[in-house]
Amino acid sequence: MTTPQPPALQYSALQLAWLQELGIEKPWLPSEQPPASKEIAVVIKQVRTPAATDTVPPAAVMQPAARLPSANKNRSPAPAPVSSTSEQTKVDTQPLAAAAMDMHALAETISACQACGLCRERQQAVIGEGVMQPAIMVIGQAPDDLEDRAGKPFVDRSGLMLDNMLMAIKSSRTQNVYVSNIVKCRPPGNRNPKPAELASCKPYLLRQIELVRPFSILAVGRAAQSLLETDQPLDQLRQKTHTFEVAGQKIPLIVTSHPVNLLNHPSEKAAVWQDLQLVKTVSGL
Ligand code: SF4
């Protein structure tokens, strides 16, 4: 019995021209790219080093100040606390104190956090990695079991797919991208985090965004609905420039599929390509 093959990808003439222009007309399959994980700096370790704290990135990865959106100037220090919902349980004061932390203190606090039940089964908190003041901050929903073991966001095949997506717009975690999740600890069985867990962890993300100072946000998969606080289907959120506000600063937010979705549904690539073009445009890349 032969195994059914997925339908061949169909590109419009415009999409094909884009692909050829950037030299990536080959499919974005992880097996076609060299392993990227060895090249990736582990910012979890960097943020534990005082020299790499707060908003002072290595000169080699700094974005010129002129490229920062005007709204990013004169940032105030504290993100707004998370609003309560009917499903939210008691919010621990530990995450709320994040508003005053530098990156080093934030990483230490997250690593030891017990503000919600997800701390019980995690191997380690997954904080983030990449460069400060990036063109793009990629945000997923929560770490999976592989990220939990590695202590890094977006690893293995989905990580390679993400790296290939970024490569398509000439970007990378070592150059101009920071990668993280909303929730820092793996939900058991890789389930979707509960609203109370998202609310508990959100102050950490808000402070992290404030410290990282991204030029734009690329929200992948269900993280888009969580960040935009909507139940709208992903398809209705795509190809639009949303705004995510942190501490009074407005950051453009673009929505796309989770890289793991591309592994399972390669035909999604054409739509993701368009999302990447949009984030590239709003980031000034
Ligand atoms: S998921 Fe967030 S709030 Fe919950 S224990 Fe982990 S770091 Fe703390």
Question: 9 alpha carbon to ligand 1 midpoint, in Å?
Answer: 40
- Tell me how far apart the alpha carbons of residues 213 and 176 are, in angstroms, rounded to a whole number: 12
pLDDT digits over 61-85, tens only?
323 233 333 333 333 333 333 333 3
Name the residue at shortest CA distance from atom 2 of ligand 1: 201
**Which atom of ligand 1 lies nearest, measured to the CA of 122?**
6
Q: To the nearest whole number, what is the mean pLDDT of the chain? A: 77
The encoded tokens of residue 33 equal 């790219």
Q: Quick one: which of 236, 240, 239, 218 has its CA closest to 227? A: 218
Q: Which residues of the chain have pLDDT under 50?
A: 1-3, 6, 18, 21-91
What pLDDT does 9 receive?
A: 52
In the reported structure, the alpha carbon of residue 40 is separated from the centroid of ligand 1 by a whole-number distance in angstroms of 24
Atom of ligand 1 nearest to the CA of 119: 5
Residues flanking ligand 1, CB < 6 Å: 95, 110, 113-116, 118-119, 125, 183-185, 197, 200-201
Which residue, by CA, sits nearest to atom 4 of ligand 1? Answer: 116
Fold of the 31-57+92-283 domain: Uracil-DNA Glycosylase, subunit E (3.40.470)
What's the CA dihedral at 236, 238, 243, 244 to 10 degrees?
A: 90
How far does the chain reach from its first CA to its final CA, in angstroms? 48
Instruction: Give the model's pLDDT for residue 100.
Output: 84
The pLDDT of residue 15 is: 57
Atom of ligand 1 nearest to the CA of 114: 5
The pLDDT assigned to 178 comes to 98
- Phi first, then psi: give them for residue 138, nearest 5 degrees: -85, 130
Query: How many angstroms does the Cα of residue 231 sit away from the middle of ligand 1?
Result: 23
Which of 113, 121, 186 is the pocket-test mutation for ligand 1 (most atoms within 8 Å of CB)?
113
pLDDT tens-digit series, residues 208-245:
999 999 999 999 999 999 999 999 999 999 999 999 99
C-alpha 5 chain-centroid distance: 31
Backbone φ, ψ for residue 7 (5° rounding): -60, 145
Phi, psi for 250 (deg, rounded to 5): -100, 120
Q: Are the CB atoms for 266 and 27 separated by under 8 Å?
A: yes
DSSP 285: -
Output the residue whose Cα is nearest ligand 1's atom 3.
201
